[in-house]
Structure 1
Amino acid sequence: MISVKNMQKRLLLCLFYSVTLLAVGTVHSEERGMTPAEVDALIELAMEKFQVPGVSFGLIKDGKIIISKGYGVLEVGKKARVDDETLFAIASNSKAFTAASLAILVDEKKLNWDDKVTDYIPTFQMYDPWVTREFKIRDLLVHNSGLGLGAGDLMFWPSSGFSRKEIVHGLRYLKPISSFRSEYAYDNLMYILAGEVVEAISGVPYERFVETRILKPLDMKNCAADRVRLKGYKNIAEPHVLSERKLVRTKRIEKPYEKAVSAAAGGILCSTKSMLKWVNMHLHNGKLPNGTTLLSQEQHEIMIAPHTPMSVPKEFREKFQSNFKAYGLGFRVQDINGHKWVAHTGGLQGMVSYVNMIPDIDLGFVMFTNQHSGAFLSAVANTLLEAYTSERSTDWITYYEAKRKEQVAEAAKLVPVLEDSAYSPEQLLDYYIGTYRDPWFGKVTISEKNGGLYFASEKSERLRGRMLPYKEDLFIVYWDERELEADAYVKFERSFNRTLSGFVMKAVSPLTDFSFDFQDLDFRLVE
């Protein structure tokens, strides 16, 4: 039951947000933007609509910090509040730090972008020998390897049972789905490998390089690449997900103070207070406020130049007059309303982040949340981008609310309800029991448990669950941790003489996070 007080608060937020949209649509170009009060109203309403417990937000304009604050709580059900020094997992926004690390080494003439990866990592090997020989340092950062979306991510997601050396070794078994350098497909493993290149050249671990060469010069005190030093630190946001429509805390890949195997791809923790210093450096072509150069202008321009073409989403073509989108080095670049927009998102289970920069108007803003809602990020960011670059006013909260509901409804049509299509396998369940192995993911055991089949990964401890029969030789595995929201088909295969040979997998729902790359697995029966 909603109290009268809460109802009044919601009505006031909705009214204030509506007035804000009207106001933004009527200002002249020299007055474009949003006041701190308008941003507060926007964020608070979006938090309510998308059930986000905590947010940290910062905005810098013309070298001055306009907003740097927190909203909500570190953990649902507890009182500790988010502020601008709260640490969040910034996930893939770590990639730009990896690109900058390599750019620093290029500035120091210890590396060239067109050097071959095998010059520094002799054990590096792709599925295709020609690709292995031709793979350049630049290729590690631009998502054009020929691998599929998120290929191999199961080696660190949703739990990290693999070492970095094992991840690099696993690359040789991942089959490409397109020609080398022919198209864009987002990946994480190449950035993990890029971190290994940083270590091979500099002689220090990736985390230490970022700490000493980037975080310290920028005075980013509330930011950590070397996470071991965070043990005992309390101001850290906890991750949350919506599981069966209920907001619950979820597990991390690693604890905040543990070394992240995926550090170079997505393992840095940071606050908005520190991240604004990173953004300000980029807005000023690699220079610090005191005039010191962190990155040369040449290398900075390479980082934010287009390298791999990407498709432009429909809403950006229509609402922002966007004509191009591409991946740079650790950043995405795009045109919006005649301005160059440099940005990147990041997502780990239970947390998402967004970094945005429009260099020609000296604007940057960052958002970190402790709930896995990309719709929240998009709604808030698009409202701000529209306010600062046009006289248009779109209700992006309503837009993304409707879009999410449509996606969920469409996905639900594709998810089978086993009670409605009960199936009894022709074979005894014992027939499927055994140990199976995939070349890069390792062993999985199918065993009997409580009268049914049970799936257990040897290396990824969170991938365990009961298997229910769906059709002939086809099961669905329901993970014990329901908040993973990544149930998968398990399709057993037979040889020509009809004996069991192995199985392949595929996510059940199209809304499953792409890092659950079940489609890349090919298990063979070993015992």
Structure 2
Amino acid sequence: MRGLLLISALLFAAGTTQAATSTPETQTLDRIVNATIARYHLPGIAVGVIENGKVVYTRTAGETVAGSGEKITPRTLFKIASNSKAMTTALLGRLVDQGKLRWDDPVTKYLPQFQMHDPWVTANMRVADLLTHSSGLPEGGGDLMLWPEPNAFTRADIIHALRYIEPGYSFRSQYQYDNLLYVVAGEVAAAAGGAPYETLMRREVFEPLGLGRCQVGSWSRDSVGNVAQPHYRHDGRNVPMHEDGATIPAITSAPAGGIRCDLADMLVWARNWLVPTPAQLQWLSWPQRATLQAPHMLIPVSTQRRQWDNTHVMAYGYGWRMADIDGAWAVWHTGTLGGMYSMLALLPDRQSGFVFMINGEAEDARTVLGEVLMKHFTAPQERRGVAWYADALDEQAKQRPASASAPDTSTRQPAGSAELAAFTGIYRDPWLGEAAVCPRGGQVRFAAKKSPRLAGTVMRLGSRYFVHWDDNGVDPAAWMDFRTTGDGPTTLRMAKLDPQGDFSSDYEDLRFERVRDCP
């Protein structure tokens, strides 16, 4: 184990030495990164590029906290968000290699309490089915039990709640991205491996690969040090949001998106897939590596991807996406988590790839930078740069119909307690639990019992109501539609104000019923 750590460290050191030399290629990459930073006013970024198995470029810029003076370095920790999924599947692959788990084992073998909405699906759900986003769960279904953090939902709560989430399509019939089943996969790993998920991740992934800075579970911010904080854009500046306290708590969502790593470790992680050493092949066998990055569920190819990348087929493996891009086979994943964005992309046949992490609002920045870095390998003759792709995204946004955009809320007014008197009360959803819609100071407040950041004031916009969240980091706002029918209970349905809002804000899956009066 110590030998593998030393090998990884030496390989990374060799790559950074090479990257330190200015060449036409590194100058080109600098221009790409600089243009992205300037176009999107990023607070901080860390970028690494691998070519023919060697790290040929690293670049960091900006600050861990805007205005702090603490510079981003290759050892700055970022939330890698859904790039955690590939680490979770690698952990499962380790357990398969060790004979403790089989991909086609039923989930109930390890978690007898596991139930989906459909009993047949429960009985036939394999470990592999947890990983391919084809379970029948609607896109982002149940994600409000994971985010916004912190909240009081446990992994046991999630496993119990799955039986109440109505399917959006039939089992194994299509791709719809979800996070909850990766949390379940983490609990399968814990049951098969005989230790908590966090313990297994450190023991079976971080330590053998020498990922000495990667963190999962609870840890000390000050002891570890050099931790990037998320930001949002407000009035033309980057504003820190939900900065870490002295102790980083363990989070329920860790198997789906709760790991933090730095650039140095992410490059070691990436090279493990591109040019594994003999020791790394002992860590995870070729058969398991091939299984993780093989196509298991087809993903529809978007018009944009066809036009930009000449893509014909796209699929999901176990914690990885994959597609043909300009005739090259690419394997990648992205990560999004409250003011932090990441991307890790591999071109296995070329032993090349890249990784970057950003600590700010950067959805378009990630798309653009990922596209231009990919073209650096797959279409180097192409002259479209950051500005071209950024302009194309801006034009797409302008062309969206009004119905596909968030309404203007500038005329909103707080809803009076008198006008909503018939609808105030304590409501309950089968999986999110209780939420209060109760008067306070002449207004009406919404507050979810187990998710304290889901709290805000009920507003009137025209003839409709919505909840405006107190916390700027909770986005988007949510429509509130109350209904009373005959002698039945009053119900509350919710939906995103912005149809383009993050699918993890799955208000549409809530089924609130009024259960009692406000206290």
Equivalences for 1:61-72 in 2 at 5 Å?
61-72=51-62
Say which SS state the counterpart of residue 264 (structure 1) adopts. Answer: helix
The answer on whether the counterparts of 1:53 and 1:72 sit within 8 Å (CA) in structure 2 is yes
The answer on whether the counterparts of 1:243 and 1:483 sit within 8 Å (CA) in structure 2 is no
Match of 1:360 in 2: 349
Quickly say closer, same or farther: Cα 1:151–1:361, change in 2 above 3 A.
Answer: same
Cα deviation, residue 377, structure 1 = 1.6
Equivalences for 1:37-436 in 2 at 5 Å?
37-159=27-149, 160-228=151-219, 230-243=221-234, 245-251=236-242, 257-284=248-275, 287-288=276-277, 290=279, 292-390=281-379, 391-404=381-394, 406-407=396-397, 410=400, 414-417=405-408, 428-436=419-427
The answer on whether the counterparts of 2:328 and 2:347 sit within 8 Å (CA) in structure 1 is yes
Say which SS state the counterpart of residue 382 (structure 1) adopts. Answer: helix
Within 2, Cα distance between the matches of 1:274 and 1:34?
Answer: 26
Within 2, Cα distance between the matches of 1:449 and 1:374?
Answer: 37
The number of equivalent residue pairs is: 491
Cα deviation, residue 75, structure 1 = 1.0
Cα deviation, residue 363, structure 1 = 0.2
Within 2, Cα distance between the matches of 1:356 and 1:255?
Answer: 33
Say which SS state the counterpart of residue 434 (structure 2) adopts. Answer: strand
Could you list the runs of 5+ residues in structure 1 that have no partner in the other structure? 1-32
Cα deviation, residue 421, structure 1 = 8.2
Within 2, Cα distance between the matches of 1:137 and 1:254?
Answer: 36
Q: Percent identity?
A: 35
Within 2, Cα distance between the matches of 1:83 and 1:406?
Answer: 34
Within 1, Cα distance between the matches of 2:69 and 2:319?
Answer: 36
Q: Which whole-Å deviations, capped at 9, do the CAs of 1:272-291 have from their partners, x for residues lacking one?
A: 1001111111113xx33656
Amino acid at match of 1:108: Q
Amino acid at match of 1:154: L
Cα deviation, residue 315, structure 1 = 3.0
Within 1, Cα distance between the matches of 2:242 and 2:81?
Answer: 15
Q: Paired residue for 1:495, among 448, 466, 485? A: 485
Q: Which whole-Å deviations, capped at 9, do the CAs of 1:213-251 have from their partners, x for residues lacking one?
A: 111111111211244255532200010112465421112
Quickly say closer, same or farther: Cα 1:244–1:193, change in 2 above 3 A.
Answer: farther
TM-score norm. by structure 1 comes to 0.88
Within 1, Cα distance between the matches of 2:90 and 2:234?
Answer: 37
Q: Which whole-Å deviations, capped at 9, do the CAs of 1:480-501 have from their partners, x for residues lacking one?
A: 113423111000011225x761
Match of 2:501 in 1: 512
Match of 2:441 in 1: 450
Within 1, Cα distance between the matches of 2:337 and 2:24?
Answer: 29
Q: Which whole-Å deviations, capped at 9, do the CAs of 1:382-406 have from their partners, x for residues lacking one?
A: 1121121222221243323442464
The answer on whether the counterparts of 2:114 and 2:160 sit within 8 Å (CA) in structure 1 is yes
The answer on whether the counterparts of 2:36 and 2:386 sit within 8 Å (CA) in structure 1 is no
Q: Which whole-Å deviations, capped at 9, do the CAs of 1:417-439 have from their partners, x for residues lacking one?
A: 45658898997322222100001
Cα deviation, residue 452, structure 1 = 1.8
The answer on whether the counterparts of 2:345 and 2:354 sit within 8 Å (CA) in structure 1 is yes
Quickly say closer, same or farther: Cα 1:478–1:152, change in 2 above 3 A.
Answer: same
- Do residues 479 (structure 1) and 469 (structure 2) align? yes
Amino acid at match of 1:341: A
Q: Which whole-Å deviations, capped at 9, do the CAs of 1:352-371 have from their partners, x for residues lacking one?
A: 11001001111021100001
Amino acid at match of 1:480: D
Quickly say closer, same or farther: Cα 1:308–1:395, change in 2 above 3 A.
Answer: same
Q: For the aligned residues, what is the CA RMSD?
A: 2.3
Amino acid at match of 2:154: S
Within 1, Cα distance between the matches of 2:412 and 2:284?
Answer: 60
Say which SS state the counterpart of residue 282 (structure 2) adopts. Answer: coil
Amino acid at match of 1:333: M
Amino acid at match of 1:440: W
Deviates more, 1:373-382 or 1:111-120: 373-382
The answer on whether the counterparts of 1:158 and 1:253 sit within 8 Å (CA) in structure 2 is no
The answer on whether the counterparts of 2:467 and 2:478 sit within 8 Å (CA) in structure 1 is yes
Could you list the runs of 5+ residues in structure 2 that have no partner in the other structure? 1-22
TM-score norm. by structure 2 comes to 0.89
The answer on whether the counterparts of 2:339 and 2:361 sit within 8 Å (CA) in structure 1 is yes
